[in-house]
Amino acid sequence: MIRLLLLVIPLAVLAGCRTENKAFCEDPNNAGLQGCPGDATNGGGCGSDGECKTPGFPVCVKANDEGICKACSDTNKGACKDTTPRCESNACVACVADAQDCGGGVCLATGDCAAPSRIIHATSNSTKTKDCGDAATPCGLTGALMLATADGKSVIKLDDPGPFTQNGFTVSNDVTIDARGATLTRADPGPVLTVMGGKTLTLLGGTVHGTIGKNGDGIKCMGSALIAADTKVDNNDLSGINADTCTLTLSRVTINNNSQKSNTFVPGINVMMGSIALAQSRVDSNNGGGLAINGAVFQIVGNVFSNNGPPGTPDPPSTIGGISIMTTGNPANRLDFNTITGNHTQAGFTPGLLCAGGLTVRNNIIYGNNDNLVPQFGGNCQPAYSDLGFVTVDMNNNMHADPMFGAGFHLSAGSSLLGMADPNADLSGIASKDIDGQPRIRRPGMGADIGADQYSPP
């Protein structure tokens, strides 16, 4: 017993010395341990919230009877507010859900929650255009758009799934529409949504659903700006998004089954002048092709373009397959980490990717278009570190291998494309996440994975 006591006492003394030993605490590996000040992820050891004194780390999170000061916890939002109101893994991050993060308000694209004073409520069965907008007396969507003002109530929350059906919806003021879970459609011919010149529409979630025979686009943008996230645009007679001199910022959108009008073939996204940033999105099964860019600045990173342009018998009817770019060179232009597959065009047209202006495109899968029977890219495209069908001569570190797709054009564990992207590729910003929102990272001693998907084991 005496020997055991002698052993315990020195250990206790050593533990006490750690908390007071400057050299121990200055070792970054010991940050947050035994009372040492924390690093960028914690504010030091603690026994209760009251002992957390480091700004930004007010919550004592305990595990195995030891506490560490963190920004927040599952039961205490702590420092989470403003543009980072949500707690994930004891860190404050941007909001993702209206109910969970914003108390039933609106989670904005900027990551913060809209103040109740900014919100106009709308329902599909309301026809009100004035004296409305609170939760108890909602407007119709047309009325809500009329009431929206840039310096006051500028956020419209759709309170039911709809469908919201009118003779088109026109955006004449800067506005955010929270359409999560709702469907917008149109009763008469024309586009479902029109964004007027000089205005900005931020569209969060929802489906812009066309009706066959209405001869309209899903969203028409004219000299304005469109920000869309987690939105689906489908079943329109013409393009899903038709933009003329607009600024488009599209993330996690789905553009599919558009160009439904008989014998009319227009792309799912049609961009004339202006600019487009498209990331983590799927553009598929649009009869007139996937994406057409004419004269616009573009950042097309981390998307899947698949099955655009129907196969047709005896000849596919569309002249655009996956992507067509008709624009002069601009150093800001970028087309990286995309998967372009299963698209079709008429004989003599390029089914995968067509470029003008001399564009180097990197880390893309351009494979299986027109069944790999013809060149997958054309014009002045200059692929590098990409997987290309049909080509027999290697250049610029390109590959010519079956991608070995799984469901949803995800890569499989046996794909030879894993780690074969340009090892010096810029993986920041728009390229930091793959199509599923997972981090795009370099494999040890290699690059990231080629295409839209960064493989991770199930």
* 88: in domain: no
* 445: in domain: no
Query: Residue 246 sits in a domain of what CATH number?
Result: 2.160.20
Residues 63 and 180 in one domain: no
Residues 67 and 124 in one domain: no
Residue-number span of the structural domain to which 352 is assigned:
105-431
- Provide, rounded to the nearest whole percent, the portion of the chain with pLDDT above 90: 74
Question: Do residues 287 and 259 touch, judged by C-beta distance below 8 A?
Answer: yes
More confident residue, 22 or 85: 85
Residue in this structure with the two tokens 């009319």, named with its chain if needed? 264
Looking at the structure of the chain, the number of domains it has is 2
Distance CA 215, CA 130 (A): 31
Residues 65 and 153 in one domain: no
* 361: in domain: yes
3-state secondary structure at position 208: strand
| Helix (H) or strand (E) segment spanning residue 26 | helix 22-26
pLDDT at res. 139: 97
pLDDT band with cut points at 50, 70 and 90 for residue 41: confident
Residues 48 and 164 in one domain: no
Residues 60 and 111 in one domain: no
Q: Which strands form 66-70's sheet, in the order they lie side by side?
A: 45-46, 66-70, 59-63
* 444: in domain: no
* 453: in domain: no
pLDDT band with cut points at 50, 70 and 90 for residue 443: very high
For range 32-43, the mean pLDDT? 58
Residues 122 and 38 in one domain: no
The b/e string for 161-191 (b: 16+ C-beta within 10 A; e otherwise) is ebebbbebbbbebbbbbbbbebbbbbeeebb
For range 189-203, the mean pLDDT? 96
Examine the pLDDT at 39 and tell me if it is beyond 90: no
- Nearest Cα neighbor of 34 from 50, 13, 55, 49 is 13
pLDDT at res. 29: 52
Residues 247 and 388 in one domain: yes
For range 387-399, the mean pLDDT? 82
Residues 112 and 191 in one domain: yes
Q: What is the pLDDT of residues 55-92, one digit of tens each?
A: 999 999 988 778 899 999 999 999 999 999 999 999 99
Examine the pLDDT at 150 and tell me if it is beyond 80: no
pLDDT band with cut points at 50, 70 and 90 for residue 30: low
- Whats the size of the chain, residue-wise? 458
pLDDT at res. 192: 97
* DSSP label at residue 63: E
pLDDT at res. 12: 35
* 365: in domain: yes
For range 270-293, the mean pLDDT? 97
Q: Is-cis flag, bond preceding 314, omega within 30? A: yes
Task: Say whether pTM exceeds 0.85.
Answer: yes
* 125: in domain: yes
* 84: in domain: no
Residues 319 and 214 in one domain: yes
Residues 178 and 129 in one domain: yes
